[in-house]
Structure 1
């Protein structure tokens, strides 16, 4: 009967996961009120801080300031550490002064230990300590009572810490029933001693022994008194039940929290992943934003619920500056955001005194985590680009992807067998539609046993992969981190033999339900486990794999169908004895990392990997791409894909996309077409669909729609040189590939909340059509004195202005910024590899001063040879009728047959002649055409190698 009930339960889970018509069951996921530590912390109202900084304890060393903090209510002491860091950053750490046991500190995320800068005390009185943070650009004020930190730039108050008094730190302690037993024993001993004082001499014990007992009892009573100073235990502090699951919490309550006040800031962004607008909302009347990686079935839009990934980085922006708050904690975290008026607060009064203003807008941010310690980096900008670089110096930049991965990916759950794969592949050729990668979901494996192939449906995977390789195409297969419990399954047997599985609190292997049925979960926090996992991708271990097979990690939150909130129990135990509650948000990053390293190792360290992940954390950008999970075929889901990817780009994860067409449900033809058009201008471009949906290959929707989808795909492929250059800039300089308007126009207030249009790099403005039956879109052209050109018609628009752009079904509103030069390859091919030797066209869009510039990055597109300077990085400049090409990095050397096929100059006057000059050569007259209606010069066949220096004179 028990087995039958388990099977029935699994069937019910599967029915929920497989039925497209259902929406998210909110009851499966906690609210703040149901999360006991969030509930406890929210009870603490803003007001005077419970903490004092003992300024007399201050200790200044070469790299940090240490000060003790004391809670006046509980008398518990904490240790505050403040670091001034190179690059205009500050780190603040708060831990127990003398913890009963170590608290978890997040490993493996920071790329290196941040370089400290010397702090310098500049003043002190009875209640204030004043320091310079490294350079003299920023000053730190430490207020003793109540404890507060203020960071100033000159006379401007930039940020305050604990100004609302919401510092919260639950120290490790012994459970009270354990202490009570000790105290009862001590009291009993003391009572026995009292009785002996009045008994006969023969009944008296030795005096010295009695003294020891008395001292021991007094100490234990004192300990109990001290404990009574702690907050009284509440439900959920030592164990907590949600639905049918009980979290044992053997270490008791250990949550931490801290508030930050941002005077002068009304717009804050980041802390993905949430299906919400780009600008974060206030949460006074809602749940806080939650950061807790979860498998949320068919997620709802425009709310603060947690989704698949978490990056605890918040950015704030106003016309003067941009700053970031990186809350370095991997446990379940809630983020409250409130809007305030600085002039009405104690903080605001200080600001008013210093700046002479009042009623200054202010945003307050409160972070609450279940465990760990307080470890936060303040990224002081002051520009958006500075913040991106500061964060990248901590967690790394976006990995440089292989060139093919920027093309189009075709996926569904599932392509049935090898014949199905061949037929779909042939369909793209038959209909002259480009694509690079075909994907296989969980049904390709033998009974959901990853690293295997279904022997009946995929009996000859190498033959299948070879067929794709002959067409210069790739395949991606899914490899999930839940492992089928089957003694005949080699992967399971080896993991178990190495003792690499996550454990239960009782020490047995943790088991849960997922796609294969009963499954165990490798402990990816263990570096030996990650190394073993990586070794499984070698060609001799992953049977049937080849160098054109890449990987998709799904369900790595981790997803546990019968677990609390569809994930792992928090009291499960990982390597080093750490509970899952400490590492939860890291799990997906570790899976992603181990898989990416496996693909690198299989090539002897020569080839770049491509790995897609659903779960992520800070630093995931170093390992590959992310998608927005199991969306639905609805117009609102198409629309929300823009702010979701923009939010990820702001926190360093540029390689983002949403499932084209929607994973669940069946898109109407108009929606599918608009989604292809939008997807063509998002960094990761993949169509994907649920098992129960009808087939959606691009040629199945009528000839007219096939033509329109083909046109969208060809636009994507023509821009691949530009995409690749943007990804190189993201990899080298942490510049977001897809970026909000305010990143490029930081003083344009009208752009601060815009998320229905965006920029690709600095040169292309994109406004996808995301409304049903749209006849036009409202486009905002940002900046002052800027000019923008429709990339299809070359129509010119000056900014700032709002413009109604009529649209048809073929319209993809895209505009090139005046002053930019974009390299393209305009010859249609069947995939990116076939375009490798094709010539370039430069699109030169002139600004109002008649100038423009742009870049082109080029390497072999697949290896790490660029790290040995095998690349080209070119700069193109146009000024005063002269187009020049020069090297941006003289260290780069890369031979290429690519030549310059055309130059298109937009916004130009008619020239009399155009000549080409190369160093050491004579001037060559070039043929050109001029369109007076569009003010466009088209120069044909300059014939120069794209890697060479040249000058083109337009006279």
Structure 2
């Protein structure tokens, strides 16, 4: 009887859930708020330039920072009846860090006893960054223009200064005594709604689609304008399915009428050209201009944010006189809550900006080698037999892959860290079979916990009081995949540690060392919540409202999962965790993908600017679902997506459970061959990619980059987001239209470019209309580059470990080239102790030389490799050599002529040094004779 009752209740719950999901499975504009339906955004947008009346008073140096109080100017009569609540001072502090980074904080004065402490986002800024603070001893003063009072000037570094303008209040960075770089409140749009005690008659509640937000502390939003000088374009603020160069949202002839929204949301089938916020939020913006330089601005704030890019003429009615005639792009930033905690970056180059930003929030984590290869995923592989069949089919069709993924259906009733005992009765044996081929498995773990008294996780979380509370103080109860669910309070470090412990082999029964993790739905997604997420007045540790930390919730869950895998391996093995939600700093914890895209050509096209923008925001390890998550791609679209996706930093095929099966061998022999070739290309280039991941790990510069990052003075690259650079040496152009027979490709710079497959030569600085075939998308090696490859095809990257290398030397007009190769054990943290091989290859004066790049860290550990170089291909060599002399061994190697690729389908004949058999670890020189 009890069993029948449970079954009946489960059926009813599923029916209710189905009703809830009916409005979730496709994107509907009216389910989400626009700016006019968001009071803080509507209020802020109605303000006119010059609205701000604050001035800086009591400027001083305190604790190594420039400090001041911001107070409104009283009217000429010094009206004694002015509302005292409106003249409470704000406290400003300006601090300086290495590389000219400026941090500006503005908050309420805690001495005046506000109703609560405003939330400051913890665990994002690196402690080591804080240690680079430059202790200010003094500042100078300067009267700017016709100002009634002087401004305070602080020296930064390398010829830059920060200026605090007292009246009118403004903060900006300038070149020493000269041009502005970036500024805040130049247009007087700053506003800071201070917390107030609720009085009788105050009505602060807000409602949307039947949901009521109690807003117990009333309006608490912040807004201000930020201007970028010498800028032609601005970029950043992911995540939006929009162009790389951000379009104007206000002003004459605007492209979008809505601001760019930063509010982590579970959005099914999102639009391909929209400022609407998606799964992650990074309040970071960079500018770039004709001078080749730029600047950056970051606001550490996890509340909902709306950002306008102001088009030319937006302030036509303004009477504000700006002190500079420099070209500029103005932007307007609005947040519902939090404090002003902002960072100014001076660059000037694009890579300088990435290095500066990631010095604040962290460099990208170094992934395991297997994670940089191809991943096969579907919602859901049905059972162990299905897994074994898919795995064997990859081998049957000679297609390599490294990871097989399982979605929510592998669990026992959507209880994470469990297995369906009928469908997956032997999970450890299943994983061991994959591991025997060098392959891995990923399973999904979402933040919602099924409210089931028989589920040990729910029982323990309830007893310990670990759940987020609703506005009444009870455990918050929302709907997600399991039905009734609650959510751990990820703000609390103790609870994060508790979550991390669940990944241990003891707690995650059935897991093995070859199992890794996928975090989905961590925005957090709540099917019956306002805008498909948690209510803003839900409560976290210390009385922090969910509105204040919403955008960082998924980041903390990602952090806990990553930490859990590190603990599982006793700190010896790098984790792999993919997350859908993200925030600033997510790059430290793993990979990100662009969410629930759709199988159409527009979504293929927009994947490139989305991934490039993530890279500009520090998240280098990013990709999009190859083939599109929703819908059934036609074979041509699927092939083109594989051809492009093979160059994404994170390369995964994925599909919704309602789509037709789309493993690579299901579309006919020819399409299988084309997909196989695309995946093989990725495996061939894995040494190059792994070297680039190490560059990102050290410098913050992303694996895939906008063209202007490598060619910062070439204006033709500034808005080009159909092509991208992989590192500094490889340019890739996608094909985004059906039945395309030609592609327009711009090749920047003054050097030449070599077709990646044929070796055909093209001059830079020109646009080419190229014939294209079904076999590949256009890709080119930059002259002056040396690329490492591995040409032998294996089942997985793990089985390629001891394979020899090929070096492709693409010579420039001076007959020179250079490149790098980075190798470590591919899985441990020993590289942080110097256990790696890092070589620089230089071709000059007819000689190829290998030089060691020594460890920059402690260098206590060692790594060795028996790998050899079996082939060196010379592109663009001016002579026809016959032999090569290897020093110091004084051996000779033969030179033959053949195609660029091992598969000789087409291509010109190039000089190839055959079997030099020189170790990657040694110092050597090869003289071409």
The question of a shared fold, defined as TM-score above 0.5 by the shorter chain, is answered with: yes
TM-score by length of 2: 0.92
- The correspondence of residues 883-894 of structure 1 with structure 2, limited to 5 A, is 883-889=848-854, 891=859, 893-894=862-863
CA deviation profile, 1:654-680 (whole Å, cap 9, x unmatched): 111111111101100100110111110
CA deviation profile, 1:738-765 (whole Å, cap 9, x unmatched): 1000011111111000000000000000
- Which residue number in structure 2 is paired with residue 14 of structure 1? 21
- The correspondence of residues 48-447 of structure 1 with structure 2, limited to 5 A, is 49-54=52-57, 57-61=58-62, 63-72=64-73, 74-97=86-109, 98-100=112-114, 101-112=116-127, 113-114=129-130, 115-119=132-136, 120-125=138-143, 126-135=148-157, 137-154=159-176, 155-177=178-200, 238-284=204-250, 286-320=257-291, 321-340=293-312, 349-352=322-325, 360-447=326-413
- Which residue number in structure 2 is paired with residue 205 of structure 1? none
Q: Kindly indicate whether the alpha-carbon contact (under 8 Å) linking 1:294 and 1:565 is maintained by their aligned counterparts in 2.
A: yes
Q: Kindly indicate whether the alpha-carbon contact (under 8 Å) linking 1:916 and 1:942 is maintained by their aligned counterparts in 2.
A: no
- For residues 457 and 8 of structure 1, do their structure 2 counterparts lie closer, same or farther at Cα, with a shift above 3 Å needed? closer
Query: Deviation of residue 506 (structure 1)?
Result: 1.3
Q: 2:843 aligns with which of 857, 878, 898?
A: 878
CA distance in 1, matches of 2:609, 2:899: 38
CA distance in 2, matches of 1:634, 1:912: 49
Q: Kindly indicate whether the alpha-carbon contact (under 8 Å) linking 1:342 and 1:348 is maintained by their aligned counterparts in 2.
A: no
Give the structure with higher Rg (CA).
1
Q: Kindly indicate whether the alpha-carbon contact (under 8 Å) linking 1:885 and 1:951 is maintained by their aligned counterparts in 2.
A: yes
Q: Any idea what SS the aligned residue of 1:413 has?
A: coil
- The correspondence of residues 928-947 of structure 1 with structure 2, limited to 5 A, is 928-929=896-897, 934=908, 936-947=910-921
- The correspondence of residues 889-900 of structure 1 with structure 2, limited to 5 A, is 889=854, 891=859, 893-900=862-869
- For residues 106 and 779 of structure 1, do their structure 2 counterparts lie closer, same or farther at Cα, with a shift above 3 Å needed? same
- Which residue number in structure 1 is paired with residue 417 of structure 2? 451
Q: Any idea what SS the aligned residue of 1:106 has?
A: coil
CA deviation profile, 1:277-298 (whole Å, cap 9, x unmatched): 0000111151110100000111
Q: Kindly indicate whether the alpha-carbon contact (under 8 Å) linking 1:90 and 1:133 is maintained by their aligned counterparts in 2.
A: no
- For residues 457 and 343 of structure 1, do their structure 2 counterparts lie closer, same or farther at Cα, with a shift above 3 Å needed? closer
- The correspondence of residues 756-905 of structure 1 with structure 2, limited to 5 A, is 756-783=722-749, 785-889=750-854, 891=859, 893-905=862-874
CA distance in 2, matches of 1:861, 1:606: 12
Q: Any idea what SS the aligned residue of 1:943 has?
A: strand
CA distance in 2, matches of 1:594, 1:385: 30
Q: Which runs of 5+ in 1 are unaligned?
A: 179-232, 353-359
User: Across the two proteins, how many residue pairs are aligned to each other?
Assistant: 883
Q: Kindly indicate whether the alpha-carbon contact (under 8 Å) linking 1:341 and 1:361 is maintained by their aligned counterparts in 2.
A: no
Query: Deviation of residue 4 (structure 1)?
Result: 10
CA distance in 2, matches of 1:348, 1:856: 54
Q: Any idea what SS the aligned residue of 1:340 has?
A: coil
Query: Deviation of residue 78 (structure 1)?
Result: 1.2
Q: Kindly indicate whether the alpha-carbon contact (under 8 Å) linking 1:341 and 1:362 is maintained by their aligned counterparts in 2.
A: no
Q: 2:46 aligns with which of 43, 47, 57?
A: 43
Higher mean C-alpha displacement, 253-262 vs 703-712: 253-262
Q: Kindly indicate whether the alpha-carbon contact (under 8 Å) linking 1:256 and 1:370 is maintained by their aligned counterparts in 2.
A: yes
Q: 2:877 aligns with which of 902, 908, 911?
A: 908
CA distance in 1, matches of 2:899, 2:344: 53
- Which residue number in structure 2 is paired with residue 922 of structure 1? 890
- For residues 457 and 883 of structure 1, do their structure 2 counterparts lie closer, same or farther at Cα, with a shift above 3 Å needed? same
CA distance in 1, matches of 2:626, 2:898: 39
Q: Kindly indicate whether the alpha-carbon contact (under 8 Å) linking 1:69 and 1:77 is maintained by their aligned counterparts in 2.
A: yes
- The correspondence of residues 537-936 of structure 1 with structure 2, limited to 5 A, is 537-783=503-749, 785-889=750-854, 891=859, 893-919=862-888, 921-929=889-897, 934=908, 936=910
CA deviation profile, 1:146-202 (whole Å, cap 9, x unmatched): 212232103112122211111110011112317xxxxxxxxxxxxxxxxxxxxxxxx
CA deviation profile, 1:39-97 (whole Å, cap 9, x unmatched): 1111211235321222xx11123521111111247323212211122111111111123
Q: Any idea what SS the aligned residue of 2:217 has?
A: coil
Q: Kindly indicate whether the alpha-carbon contact (under 8 Å) linking 1:845 and 1:905 is maintained by their aligned counterparts in 2.
A: yes
CA distance in 2, matches of 1:941, 1:134: 54
CA distance in 1, matches of 2:502, 2:10: 33
CA distance in 2, matches of 1:551, 1:59: 50
Query: Deviation of residue 392 (structure 1)?
Result: 0.8
Q: Any idea what SS the aligned residue of 1:455 has?
A: coil
Query: Deviation of residue 342 (structure 1)?
Result: 11
Q: Any idea what SS the aligned residue of 1:131 has?
A: strand
Q: Any idea what SS the aligned residue of 1:903 has?
A: strand
CA distance in 2, matches of 1:263, 1:15: 47
Q: Any idea what SS the aligned residue of 1:293 has?
A: coil
CA distance in 2, matches of 1:151, 1:522: 42
CA distance in 1, matches of 2:557, 2:459: 19
TM-score by length of 1: 0.90
Q: 2:486 aligns with which of 520, 545, 567?
A: 520
CA distance in 2, matches of 1:639, 1:104: 38
CA distance in 2, matches of 1:380, 1:631: 35
Query: Deviation of residue 371 (structure 1)?
Result: 0.6
Q: Kindly indicate whether the alpha-carbon contact (under 8 Å) linking 1:769 and 1:777 is maintained by their aligned counterparts in 2.
A: yes
Q: Kindly indicate whether the alpha-carbon contact (under 8 Å) linking 2:758 and 2:899 is maintained by their aligned counterparts in 1.
A: no
Q: Kindly indicate whether the alpha-carbon contact (under 8 Å) linking 1:121 and 1:129 is maintained by their aligned counterparts in 2.
A: no
- For residues 471 and 17 of structure 1, do their structure 2 counterparts lie closer, same or farther at Cα, with a shift above 3 Å needed? farther
Q: Which runs of 5+ in 2 are unaligned?
A: 1-7, 75-85, 901-906
CA distance in 2, matches of 1:912, 1:865: 42
Higher mean C-alpha displacement, 307-316 vs 57-66: 57-66
Q: Kindly indicate whether the alpha-carbon contact (under 8 Å) linking 1:278 and 1:647 is maintained by their aligned counterparts in 2.
A: yes
